Amino acid sequence: MTEASKREIMIATIAELLRGVRHVAVGAASPIPAAGAMLRRALAEEEATPPVRLSILGSVAHNFFTNGSVELFDCAGQGRIDAFFLSGGQIDGQGNVNLVGVGDYPNGKVRWPGSFGSSYLYFVVPRVILFREEHSPRIFVEKVDFISAPGASPEGVYRPGGPSALLTGLGLFDFESSRPGFTLRSVHPGHSLEEIRAATGFSFAHEPQPPLTQAPTPETLALLRGRVLDELAETYPGFAAELAAEITTTGGD
């Protein structure tokens, strides 16, 4: 068993961020979060901890719901989803997410699909993990052009949910709602604090020398490259093939 690829490190990191959850939901077009959730379920079985239920929209084999997003929203509102993933075209230092577009709304220069239920889920799911593989100043901005979902709320607003972490292709951040703001927890292997600062449009707290993101153990890597990769192919066959090719390139079994 050789070293993990960059995407495998991200998947294993997601699995650790999901430790202790009982039900995790993953939206459509989210193969890396889905893989991390599948890995957490497999690890829970290996560790003989309480089972993890997955609801991956678009999947037949890995979906608790039969009526798509309608049941997702109902389940989340009832407090029966512990974790969810949220991304955006822009994310700022206060955890605000923009899924609408770039420029002054409604006459923006770029238009994205829209907010959908992002704000609702951001408020009711206790552990929302912000995820974006690309880490660049065009995504991580000082202030989003449009707030689809706010990262924090004023005192007195009932909000059991909110962001807990931000995972990118460069590093892992924790979110502190009391500030509100991000703290860099770790830097992925092959990258540096200077690189992350240059690629981030907002300021964040960090240690003078942040630790490296922990690589998966050989046992975890074996689960990822075996069972999880097979399960992933049902919903994301293209991504599963890409990941398998990356494993071959890095010399994996």
Largest Cα separation within the chain, whole Å, is: 53
CB 169 within 8 A of CB 134: yes
Give the pLDDT confidence score for residue 251 in this predicted structure: 58
Q: What is the pLDDT of residue 250?
A: 66
Average pLDDT, the chain: 94
pLDDT for 159: 96
Read off the DSSP letter of residue 73. H
pLDDT band at 252 (very low <50, low <70, confident <90, very high): low
Query: pLDDT at position 61, please?
Result: 82
Select from 202, 206, 99, 205 the least CA-distant residue to 143: 202
Predicted TM-score (pTM) of the model is 0.94
Contact 175, 165 (CB under 8 A): yes
Residue 253 has pLDDT above 60, yes or no: no
Determine which of 4-8, 63-67, 180-184, 230-234 has the lowest per-residue pLDDT on average: 63-67
Q: Residues 84-99: pLDDT tens digits?
A: 999 999 999 999 999 9
Q: Which residue has the higher pLDDT, 249 or 46?
A: 46
**58/47 Cα distance (integer angstroms):** 28
Residue 248 has pLDDT above 80, yes or no: no
Assess contact for 37 and 24: CB atoms under 8 A.
Answer: yes
Structure token digits, residue 128 = 């929302």
CB neighbourhood size of 114 (10 A): 10
Strand-strand pairing, 101-102 and 110-111: antiparallel
> What integer pLDDT is reported at residue 1 of this predicted model?
47
Least confident of 21-25, 68-72, 77-81, 110-114: 68-72
Place of tokens 């822009």: 90
Instruction: Output the pLDDT for position 58.
Output: 80
Region 229-238: mean pLDDT is: 93
Q: Please give the share of the chain, as a percent, with pLDDT higher than 70.
A: 98
User: What percentage of the chain has pLDDT greater than the value 90?
Assistant: 83
CATH 3.40.1080.10 fits 6-250, yes or no: yes
Helix (H, G, I), strand (E, B) or coil at 88: coil
Q: Where are the domains of the chain?
A: 6-250
State the pLDDT at residue 3. Answer: 87
Residue 178 token pair: 């009391």
Give mean pLDDT, residues 172-195: 97
Indicate whether 104 pLDDT > 80: yes
